[in-house]
């Protein structure tokens, strides 16, 4: 009788065990990400501040919008398209550049500042070194790109609505403006560009994070000077610049792989508006530089995990 009364259905027991197991995996990552956002306000303040500054400049430009639209009608279709897309492209570029700078300085400070704030305390928490490093790496590789994409999309739609309101109030037809501005194509291209830039720059962020957990002082100098020294030694000793070309390709090499900057007839396109037909995701995904860079990024992050495990406070 005691055996029958103490029996527990197997499915109920399994559900009780599996639920805490899932929570034990996701909760440390979730709270680690929240900790990074709580401690590093520049992650979201800097892009929002640049977006506010861009919006201020756009509002000032609306004063002369009616006159500019009348001038625009005197241009050919290609120049009209570029002039209409220019403010929206400039906003996207400004915010994306800000996100890159934030990602660079965050990665340089990610593990370095943790040691300065007593790594012994953070190591006492029930969070593994792998979880900590991955949560920090996801800031420039996941959180910042998503945040930037949302800010740009929202800002561009606000700009479009404000432009339409000004045109309607001044007696200029807004329907023509809506039909001529390929905002949907521009936003798809922007999302593609954010993803491309993030994947291509992954080894750079991982390298900076490795340096931040390794050096004791002047993380920026240690991240940059050895690379410049290798380039200089190669140039002096062998009169070649393979390493310098490799670094330059890692900085800007995503562009020729991800976009076709010439039409099929050889005519160059204006970067303010890149048609969807000029996106080359197949060429980008098949690029050896992309996958080699991702492998190097994984190696750098694995080294950062090991460094954090054995590193002492500053």
pLDDT digits (tens, 9 = 90+) for 244-300: 899 999 999 999 999 998 887 778 888 888 888 899 999 999 999 999 999 999 999
For the chain, the domains span 42-310
Of the pLDDT bands very low, low, confident and very high (cuts 50, 70, 90), residue 24 is: low
Q: What is the DSSP letter of 28?
A: H
Whole-number pLDDT of residue 110? 84
- How far is CA 22 from each of CA 16, 26, 127, 149, rounded to the nearest angstrom? 11, 6, 15, 30
Whole-number pLDDT of residue 143? 94
Whole-number pLDDT of residue 216? 79
Mean pLDDT of 79-86: 80
The yes-or-no verdict on residue 83 having pLDDT over 90 is no
- How far is CA 168 from each of CA 117, 165, 218, 306, rounded to the nearest angstrom? 56, 5, 55, 61
Percent of the chain with pLDDT over 90: 46
Span 149-204, pLDDT tens digits: 999 999 999 998 888 888 777 665 566 666 677 888 999 999 999 999 999 999 99
Q: Which two tokens stand for residue 268?
A: 């160059």
pTM score over 0.75:
yes
The label of the residue with tokens 């906003």 reads: 91
Percent of the chain with pLDDT over 70: 79
Whole-number pLDDT of residue 43? 92
Looking at every residue in the chain, the average pLDDT score rounds to 82
The label of the residue with tokens 């050096």 reads: 215
The yes-or-no verdict on residue 13 having pLDDT over 80 is no
The three-point CA angle 193-194-195 to 5° equals 90
Phi, psi at residue 259, to the nearest 5°?
A: -135, 150
């Amino acid at each position: 009788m005691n055996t029958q009364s103490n029996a527990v259905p197997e499915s109920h027991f399994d559900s009780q065990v599996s639920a805490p197991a899932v929570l034990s995996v996701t909760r440390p990552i979730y709270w680690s990400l929240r900790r990074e956002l709580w401690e590093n306000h520049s992650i979201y303040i800097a892009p929002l501040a640049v977006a506010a500054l861009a919006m201020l400049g756009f509002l000032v430009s609306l004063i002369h919008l009616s006159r500019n639209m009348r001038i625009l009608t005197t241009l050919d279709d290609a120049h009209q398209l570029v002039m209409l897309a220019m403010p929206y492209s400039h906003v996207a570029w400004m915010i994306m550049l800000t996100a890159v700078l934030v990602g660079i300085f965050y990665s340089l400070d990610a593990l370095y500042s943790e040691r300065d704030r007593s790594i012994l305390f953070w190591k006492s928490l029930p969070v593994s070194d792998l979880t900590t490093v991955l949560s920090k790496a996801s800031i420039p590789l996941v959180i910042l790109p998503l945040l930037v994409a949302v800010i740009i999309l929202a800002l561009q739609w606000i700009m479009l609505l404000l432009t339409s309101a000004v045109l309607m109030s001044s007696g200029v037809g807004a329907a023509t403006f809506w039909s001529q501005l390929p905002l949907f194509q521009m936003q798809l291209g922007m999302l593609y560009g954010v993803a491309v830039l993030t994947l291509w720059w992954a080894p750079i962020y991982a390298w900076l994070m490795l340096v931040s957990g390794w050096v004791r002082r002047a993380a920026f100098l240690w991240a940059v000077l050895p690379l410049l020294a290798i380039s200089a030694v190669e140039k002096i000793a062998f009169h070649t610049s393979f390493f310098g070309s490799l670094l330059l390709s890692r900085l800007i090499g995503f562009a020729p792989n991800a976009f076709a900057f010439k039409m099929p007839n050889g005519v160059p396109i204006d970067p303010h508006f890149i048609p969807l037909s000029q996106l080359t995701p197949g060429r980008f995904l098949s690029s050896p530089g992309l996958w080699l860079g991702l492998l190097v990024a994984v190696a750098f992050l694995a080294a950062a995990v090991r460094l954090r495990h054995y590193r002492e406070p500053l």
